[in-house]
Structure 1
């Protein structure tokens, strides 16, 4: 960003912080850069200069020490706002955290100026006029700042307030969802999307004005449903988000990934390539492209794109996909090298544990495979692939009772999985042995066949 644009944005944010300090609930805790940056930067500079100029004029007009002190405090308050704006930016946002820093000099300045004005204009008939004006101003400041303490008390509440004011606040969406994605709290992710859409209900397209505000919420819900393996619903939301806001690059990335998961690989590749040409996020789009190649059966191309995505900064999912593709290519050492760091980062990552167990299984390491599948099930009892492969592994080893135990658990937990009947026949488990009463339904989306690695679900 050119330095003049940076200066304009800094002045806009500084004025925003001053207004937030006076009335914390009037504006967003973290403002979005305006489209007319030069215009708003000029207006902000004029407003700050006017405040400084008026305070200097006021001090000269009254010619009292109180007025000069008030003017000086106002200059200090604006300088503090400019410094706080520099600090509470980028990764240290939202800006509203600076309210408590600026509040002391700003409200002290306003109280001192009010006392000076009362002394000059109210006359000697008003006893304690200076103290009364100062106390009144300090009380007002306390009510404003302390009244907004619930809003200003946590970064999460401030980001929610920013999203409530502007449904297109992509930074707020990202800040609220990144921790959930990192911890793979996927149920909570859809809850955030639902709350976002409740704040900004979908408006019919002709109604117009509310539509762009819902794009971020729709794209978020599409991503949540994608992680929940509900590819059909994710695809509908992603297409709706892109239709409403064709310029939103994040929505196109989600759409490309949803298309790949849904098996519409040609369109997925086209969307990913088009978004890359438009300057979309390379790590996310290269991952979507790798996923599309994988679903189309072009595993060598998929592996190359997955590596490119990792080099571009893609996280866990791209590394998991690269490991899975290495397993499919028979490169077990390469897969191990990709997956081991993920297991070290999070020893309870069920999909990584499953893939490492699968590597041990393919190497003929019975104990390593069995312990790995059990660890994956401990981390995620609904890991169907781990339960399925564990039943086959123990059956091949001649441990029939344990094999039938896992087959029964598979039938109970995943009654709609088409692999269940074949597993029952293989292990000699009666189909009637599984009790389906009260068992949770199988997750949506196609099931992988036995011995295929986990590749694409979970957090980024």
Structure 2
């Protein structure tokens, strides 16, 4: 951004913060850049200069120590309003977190100026005119700040307030969702999407205009449904977001991923490549492209694309996919290099733990594989592949009682899984006859072509 535009934006945020210091609930806790940036910057500069000039004129007009002190405090408050936004921006937003730093000198200035005015114009009949005026102004300031304390004390509440005021505040949607995505709090993520859509409802007619936040909320719900393995519903939301806001690049990335997960890899690949050409987020789009290539069975290309996504800044899902594809390629060292940091960062990451157990299994490390599968099951008792592989691992090691225990657990937990009866026959567990099959499930997160088991990449 050119320095003049930066200056205009800074002046606009400084004036915004000064107003928030007076009344924290009047404006958005984190303003969006104004449409007419140059005009907004000029008007903000004029307003701040006018406040400085009026305070100087007032001090000269009254020519009292109290008036001069009040003017000095106001200049200090405006200096704070100009300085504080330099810190509360970018990753340290929202801006309203700095409101108190400006409010203290600002309300002190207003109280002092009010006392000076009372001394000059209320006359001697008001015995405590200076103190009374100052107390009234300080009381007003206290009411404003105390009433806004719950808002100012919580960045999460500030982002919700910003989203409520401005449906185009995509940054607010991202700030509310990202921590939940990182911690895989799927129920909470879905609740955020539902609350967002309640604030900015989807238009009844598909062709009707929708606020940008509506599209962001739909994309967010699509992401939540992708994480919970509800591919059909995720694709429905992603397509709705894409249709309503075709210019929104984030919606295109979610759609490409949803298409891949829903079994439409050719269209997913086309969507991701087109969005990349349009300047979309390479970390998300390259991950979606890797997922599409993997679903098409082009595993070496998928692995290369997953690595490009990681280089572009992609997070857990791309690393999990890269690790799973490395397992399928027989590169166990490469797989461990991608997966071990995920398990260290989050010891309850069931999919990373499962894939690391599979690496140990393929290396013939019985203890490492057994402990890894058990850890994956502790993190996610619904991890069918971990239970299946654990039954086979102990059977191959000759620990028949433990193996049969895991077979029974598998059949009880996953009665509709066709592998159960085959597993019972292989291990000699007396649960009924069935066919054979004793190949361990592949890594979690990277499904190979039909008839071949696959690793887990978190996007089945």
After TM superposition, the score normalised by the length of structure 1 is 0.91
* Offset from partner CA, 1:29-70 (integer Å, 9 cap, x none): 111112221121112112111211222222223232222222
Q: Which residue of 2 aligns with 1:158?
A: 158
Is the alpha carbon distance of 1:421 and 1:432 closer, same or farther for their aligned partners in structure 2, counting shifts above 3 Å? closer
Task: Quote the RMSD (CA, aligned, Å).
Answer: 2.3
CA distance in 1, matches of 2:278, 2:329: 33
Would you say 1:115 and 2:115 are equivalent positions?
yes
* Offset from partner CA, 1:67-126 (integer Å, 9 cap, x none): 222222111101001111111111211111111111111001111111222222322222
CA distance in 2, matches of 1:269, 1:275: 10
- C-alpha contact (below 8 Å) 1:417/1:447 kept by paired residues: no
Q: Which residue of 1 aligns with 2:456?
A: 454
CA distance in 1, matches of 2:256, 2:395: 40
Q: Which residue of 2 aligns with 1:439?
A: none
Would you say 1:80 and 2:80 are equivalent positions?
yes
Give the 3-state SS of the residue equivalent to 2:125 in structure 1: coil
Q: Which residue of 2 aligns with 1:11?
A: 11
* Offset from partner CA, 1:316-338 (integer Å, 9 cap, x none): 21111111111111222221222
Is the alpha carbon distance of 1:189 and 1:382 closer, same or farther for their aligned partners in structure 2, counting shifts above 3 Å? same
CA-CA distance at 1:208 after TM superposition? 5.2
Would you say 1:51 and 2:51 are equivalent positions?
yes
CA distance in 2, matches of 1:205, 1:211: 13
CA distance in 1, matches of 2:243, 2:455: 34
Provide runs of 4+ in structure 1 moved above 4 Å: 205-210, 428-433, 445-451
Deviates more, 1:406-415 or 1:312-321: 406-415
Q: Which residue of 2 aligns with 1:333?
A: 333
Is the alpha carbon distance of 1:456 and 1:105 closer, same or farther for their aligned partners in structure 2, counting shifts above 3 Å? same
Q: Which residue of 1 aligns with 2:25?
A: 25
- The alignment covers a number of residue pairs equal to 447
Structure 1: state its 5+ residue gaps. Answer: 434-444
- C-alpha contact (below 8 Å) 1:389/1:451 kept by paired residues: no
Is the alpha carbon distance of 1:415 and 1:154 closer, same or farther for their aligned partners in structure 2, counting shifts above 3 Å? same
Q: Which residue of 2 aligns with 1:89?
A: 89
Deviates more, 1:52-61 or 1:266-275: 52-61
Structure 2: state its 5+ residue gaps. Answer: 434-444
Would you say 1:40 and 2:23 are equivalent positions?
no
Q: Which residue of 2 aligns with 1:306?
A: 306
CA distance in 1, matches of 2:267, 2:378: 38
- C-alpha contact (below 8 Å) 2:446/2:454 kept by paired residues: no
CA distance in 1, matches of 2:377, 2:393: 14
CA distance in 1, matches of 2:301, 2:447: 23
CA-CA distance at 1:245 after TM superposition? 1.4
CA-CA distance at 1:207 after TM superposition? 9.3
Q: Which residue of 1 aligns with 2:442?
A: none
CA distance in 2, matches of 1:50, 1:210: 39
CA-CA distance at 1:395 after TM superposition? 2.8
- C-alpha contact (below 8 Å) 1:71/1:113 kept by paired residues: yes
After TM superposition, the score normalised by the length of structure 2 is 0.91
Q: Which residue of 2 aligns with 1:441?
A: none
CA distance in 1, matches of 2:244, 2:430: 52
* Offset from partner CA, 1:335-388 (integer Å, 9 cap, x none): 122222323333332111111111222223333222211111112111111012
